[in-house]
């Protein structure tokens, strides 16, 4: 029974430990799920669909209104030498009040009106094209935002990896120092080395301990920044896995960045087409039914009417021409920006590839030096155990090893950052 309980506890502990280890893909997915920009673009797509439904309803469905109005224009009449107050009047000659010709004695209206736009299918197609382009723009924004999230999260992940690897290097050197100190203690007791030599190594060990504390604190802060970028509300310090960054050297048939310029140009042309709608013939059918009277209303004033309204803008000071010129300028500006982007993007990619090639050579040289240092360290450790090398030389040697390994970490992280940047622009 105790063995069973122990096994269960070990499995739970194993699950907890595994849960505290995360890879780059986990953080990218969290950042995408918590991105306000992606959520906003998805909402914009829904709004575009609703806008199109609203426009379709306005263009194809009748507009029904209930209208009512009452206008009273009372007078004081003096016909037939009789003075009296009259709320509504007809065929009155002598009176005080508004002129009968301007008020008709009053107005009483209560009607139901219907207005139906005619021949609007071509207009709807224009708005449908506009909505489709808006959806494509939003989808493209989601793709680009996702791509930017991947680049931003990856950059911060690389910074976290750097702190982790620096800590591991310092821990390896600390372990080497811990292996030497007991042996040095025996050599001091045998009068092969001085007590000051032992103290010198102990001080150097303290330096490695402090370096580990510094890089661990740096790692902790970097992890917090990573979670902040990803919108992860979790204060636990977790372990991250190594990441493998590969150059995406293949050229896509259409750059996603260039898709933005293409969609922007379509947007300008569609806006111009929508602006041209008001210069087309507008035809509406209207009808109303109900009460419409100028004197006190009675049932014999119930009726209906129907007709057509037509409007066609013939001249508005050449505003349509000016708008087309503005659209042309916007298209020219967009074409110039696209050309400039393509040029700068190609220069950036060639520059980054050149930097990566240079870093590859430097990393290879650094690793070759580290291999030589590792072989030399075995010799130095052996000589130290036999009292054939000064402690100061050994201490300086370990510092050189630490510096070279830290330099190699920085070179590798710089290479990863450049690969990440190249993949961002080569998209």
- Residue partners of 166: CB distance under 8 A and separation at least 6: 215, 218, 406, 409
Q: Which CATH number fits domain 21-61+118-282+321-425: 3.40.640.10, 3.90.1010.10, 1.20.1600.10, 3.50.50.60?
A: 1.20.1600.10
| 375-396 residue pLDDT tens | 888 888 888 888 888 888 888 8
Helix (H) or strand (E) holding 340, with range, is helix 319-385
**Which spans in 190-282 are helix H?**
195-230, 256-276
75: phi > 0 → left, psi -120 to 50 → alpha, else beta; which? Answer: beta
Q: Domains of the chain: which residue ranges?
A: 21-61+118-282+321-425
| 235-259 residue pLDDT tens | 888 899 988 888 887 665 678 899 9
Q: How far is CA 186 from the centre of its chain?
A: 63
SS3 call for 313: coil
Q: Specify the pTM.
A: 0.81
- Mean pLDDT over 337-349 rounds to 92
Window from 234-243, 278-287, 298-307 with minimum mean pLDDT: 298-307
Considering the chain, what is the average pLDDT of its residues? 86
- Residue partners of 375: CB distance under 8 A and separation at least 6: none
Q: What is the per-residue pLDDT for 253?
A: 60
Handedness of CA 223, 225, 230, 235 (dihedral sign): positive
Q: What is the per-residue pLDDT for 20?
A: 76
Per-residue burial over 245-264, b = 16 or more CB atoms within 10 Å of its CB, e = otherwise? beeeeeeeeebebebbbebb
Q: What is the per-residue pLDDT for 261?
A: 92
Structure tokens belonging to residue 181: 């100190």
């Amino acid at each position: 029974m105790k063995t069973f309980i122990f096994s269960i506890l070990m499995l739970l502990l194993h699950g907890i430990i595994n849960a505290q280890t995360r890879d780059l893909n986990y953080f990218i997915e969290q950042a995408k799920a918590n991105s306000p920009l992606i959520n906003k673009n998805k909402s914009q797509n829904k709004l575009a669909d609703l806008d199109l439904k609203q426009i379709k309803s306005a263009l194809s469905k009748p507009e029904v209104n209930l209208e009512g109005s009452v206008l009273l224009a009372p007078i004081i009449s003096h016909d037939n030498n009789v003075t009296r107050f009259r709320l509504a009047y007809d065929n009155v000659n002598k009176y005080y009040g508004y002129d009968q010709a301007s008020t008709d004695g009053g107005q009483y209206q209560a009607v139901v009106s219907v207005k139906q736009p005619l021949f609007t299918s071509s207009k709807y197609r224009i708005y449908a094209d506009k909505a489709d382009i808006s959806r494509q723009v939003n989808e493209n924004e989601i793709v680009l935002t996702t791509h930017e999230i991947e680049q931003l999260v990856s950059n911060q992940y690389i910074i976290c990896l750097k702190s982790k690897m620096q800590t591991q290097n310092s821990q390896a050197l600390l372990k080497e120092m811990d292996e030497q100190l007991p042996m040095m203690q025996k050599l001091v007791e045998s009068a092969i080395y001085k007590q000051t030599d032992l103290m010198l190594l102990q001080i150097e060990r303290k330096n490695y301990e402090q370096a580990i504390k510094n890089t661990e604190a740096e790692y902790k802060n970097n992890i917090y920044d990573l979670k902040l970028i990803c919108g992860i509300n979790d204060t636990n310090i977790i372990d991250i896995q190594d990441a493998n960054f590969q150059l995406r050297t293949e050229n896509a048939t259409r750059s996603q960045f260039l898709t933005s310029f293409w969609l922007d140009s379509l947007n300008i042309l569609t806006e111009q087409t929508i602006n041209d709608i008001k210069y087309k013939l507008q035809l509406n059918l209207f009808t109303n039914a109900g009460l419409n009277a100028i004197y006190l209303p009675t049932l014999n004033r119930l009726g209906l009417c129907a007709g057509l309204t037509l409007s066609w803008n013939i001249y508005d000071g050449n505003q349509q021409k000016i708008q087309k010129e503005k659209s042309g300028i916007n298209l020219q500006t967009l074409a110039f920006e696209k050309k400039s982007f393509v040029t700068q993007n190609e220069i950036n990619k060639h520059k980054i590839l050149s930097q990566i090639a240079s870093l590859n050579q430097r990393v290879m040289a650094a690793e070759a030096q580290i291999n030589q240092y590792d072989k030399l360290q075995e010799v130095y450790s052996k000589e130290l155990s036999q009292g054939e090398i000064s402690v100061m030389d050994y201490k300086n040697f370990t510092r050189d090893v630490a510096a070279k390994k830290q330099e190699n970490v920085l070179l590798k992280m710089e290479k990863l950052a450049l690969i990440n940047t190249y993949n961002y622009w080569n998209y």
